Amino acid sequence: MTARTVLIIARLTLREAGRRRVLRAVAVMTLLLLALSFWGFSRIDAEFGGLTTGEARIAASTVLNLVMFGLSLIAALGTAFLAGPTVAGEIESGQALALLARPVRRSAVLVGKWLGLVGFGGGFVAIAGLAQILVVQATVDYWPPNPVGGLALLAAQTTVLLTLALLLSTVISPMASGVVAVGLFGATWIAGVVGGVGESLGNEGVARVGTVSRMILPTDGLWQGAMHAFQDPTIFLISPGIAESPFAGDAPLTLAYLAWTAVWVAMILGLTALVFQRRDL
């Protein structure tokens, strides 16, 4: 596998992603979300008259996390349905056979496609996320304490999901792989909410549901870290009960969890390469 081949495949994948219809759908949903959030934050400003009160800070911080969850969902939908046709679609259409007939390793093709998708997902999160933060700044004069870290975690969440979708695309149809990946994304988030309810009730068995789900699929764990990066650190002092909200992150991610996420991505990508290597074209 040569670096030049990988980069060429990554560039072609990025170019191909820009031509797919799903990109237009993602752009429309993002613009709608930005417009709705502009209206919503304008109402917060009209209601509270700035962030001089504790209630205003809680409202702005909570709504920002809610909107960012919508942004992460759009990114999840876009990357999952882009990753699906990357392998399965090209195998079904015969494009993969034409490409791999040349002296190009399957692993190089796979890693190149993965890098291209990571670039697309990371670029989308950076641009759309920054636009959202600027909307919040313009309407309620709120700037998150760690916007770079929060957007980086959302980009990592997108990377985790597209890696899973890429694995699924080697064994099932393109549409099914996207549907299953997004379904698991939603199921993990719900399991995280259930785990949070268990923690608030002091039920260790229920709380363990969230912990286990975040290890199996790290998307919700990364989302918890992103929420903590975006929210005002004083809201827990103003309203301790806000910690029970599904749109509040009460602690930053540990280095151990971030390391596990990197290992998880490497393992899933390695498994994808193994399955793709053995698949008949």
pTM above 0.85?
A: yes
> Letter for the amino acid at 136?
V
Spans of all domains in the chain: 17-278
* Tokens coding 51: 């962030």
pLDDT at 244: 65
Using a 10 angstrom Cβ sphere, with 0-12 exposed, 13-18 middle and 19 or more buried, the burial of residue 94 is exposed
40-85 residue pLDDT tens: 888 776 776 656 666 677 777 888 888 899 898 888 888 887 877 7
pLDDT at 54: 64
Place of tokens 């994304």: 185
Which alpha helices (DSSP H) does the chain contain, by range? 3-19, 21-48, 54-84, 90-93, 95-100, 106-140, 147-169, 174-201, 204-216, 219-230, 235-238, 255-278
Determine the length of the chain: 281
Rounded CA separation 20/14 (Å): 10
Q: State phi, psi for 146 to the nearest 5 degrees.
A: -145, 70
Rounded CA separation 127/124 (Å): 5
Range with lowest mean pLDDT among 150-154, 193-197, 223-227: 193-197
Residue among 195, 185, 165 at smallest CA distance from 177: 165
Mean pLDDT of the chain: 82
End-to-end, the C-alpha distance of the chain in Å comes to: 20
* Tokens coding 210: 């969230």
> Letter for the amino acid at 38?
F
